[in-house]
Amino acid sequence: MVIQLVTGLFLAIHYSCRTQLAFERVSHLIRDVNLGWFLRISHANGARFFFMALYLHIGRGLYYGSYHLELTWIVGVRIFLMVIATAFFGYVLPWGQISFWGATVITNLFSAIPNLGPSIVSWLWGGFSVENPTLTRFFAFHFIMPFVIAAFSIIHLLFLHETGSRNPLGINRNIDKIIFHPYFSVKDTLGFVGFFVLFMIINLYLPWELGDPENFIPANPMVTPVHIQPEWYFLFAYAILRSIPNKLGGVVALVASVLILYSLVLYKNHFFKGNSFSSSSKVIFWVFIVIFLLLTWIGARPVEVPYIFTGQVLTVLYFMYFFLIHLIWELEKWLFFKELPISKS
């Protein structure tokens, strides 16, 4: 987050949110500004590593049942939604082919809303197509949203520290607990150093590997790219969107794929906080991870057989997970009570 804020501030100094200049200013930054290439690469790959860490964090929350900390989980999902919006706004700013057409496709999704859709799209664009007003407001939102995310992160931590998070059992007992320093602080520092080393290796040796080569071409409204796809961290949602033949249904499924995380706070009254104590929950969790990865892969494939049908099956399985974990918890609770010894007295 700090890397993104610092690099983003210096990038904003050299940026121009005019469609005639945006691509050239980014190119000038890379070629002519001292260490400008490093700022640009660090910011672009920083966003990708940010999502990598975010998905690992959400996965850990699902595995250990962090959704039982209701306020912490709700604020966390809200942060996730804001990060998604911020990343989308930022991806439009370089004004390459994928940036332009990605903005056009995603904003056009709002036109699926009955009656109000076309008006919402025109309001987002600031006109009748993706042009100067669109780029200006996307730049403004992309600049201000990280500070809002930082504020919500503090709120997230405040709610977390009311309960703590290092107790997978979820039992409020102070006995047998391990102090944070030096045990966890050393472990977290080691994890951070490893992650940062990988980040620097990507920046210095494979800077453009995670991006789309099509975005090195200036935006051209007259030429549509053969295959428009978002960054890898949005591909799972993009695959879900494509799997629904109806436009409105696809938009609803796309939004639901993220908002369904809110539903987890409804799963209450469990004996253990985490899935790590239930073999069936473990299996279901890792199957869900495989489904998520396969959806990410499907999102990068062309819209053709057999990828269409495969994406539809995976979409159904993705949403089934959130219902299955609740059924498993209820079944295990019933079995737990059934096996309890009943006192004769």
Confidence of residue 162 (pLDDT cuts 50, 70, 90): confident
How many other C-beta atoms lie within 10 A of the C-beta of residue 96?
A: 25
Supply the pLDDT for residue 178: 75
Supply the pLDDT for residue 344: 47
For the domain bounded by 1-228, which CATH number is listed? 1.20.810.10
Supply the pLDDT for residue 71: 92
Confidence of residue 179 (pLDDT cuts 50, 70, 90): confident
Structure confidence by residue, pLDDT tens digits, 24-34: 999 999 999 99
Supply the pLDDT for residue 269: 52
Supply the pLDDT for residue 268: 62
Catalytic residue set: 161, 165, 187-188, 231
C-alpha span between 329 and 272 (Å, rounded): 10
Supply the pLDDT for residue 343: 47
Confidence of residue 282 (pLDDT cuts 50, 70, 90): confident
Supply the pLDDT for residue 172: 57
Structure confidence by residue, pLDDT tens digits, 307-319: 999 999 999 999 9
Structure confidence by residue, pLDDT tens digits, 42-71: 999 999 999 999 999 999 998 888 888 889
Supply the pLDDT for residue 336: 60
Segments making up each domain of the chain, as ranges: 1-228, 235-345
Structural Rg of the chain based on CA atoms: 23
Structure confidence by residue, pLDDT tens digits, 243-277: 998 889 999 999 999 999 999 888 765 555 555 55
**99, pLDDT greater than 50:** yes
Structure confidence by residue, pLDDT tens digits, 189-220: 999 999 999 999 999 999 999 988 999 999 99
**173, pLDDT greater than 60:** no
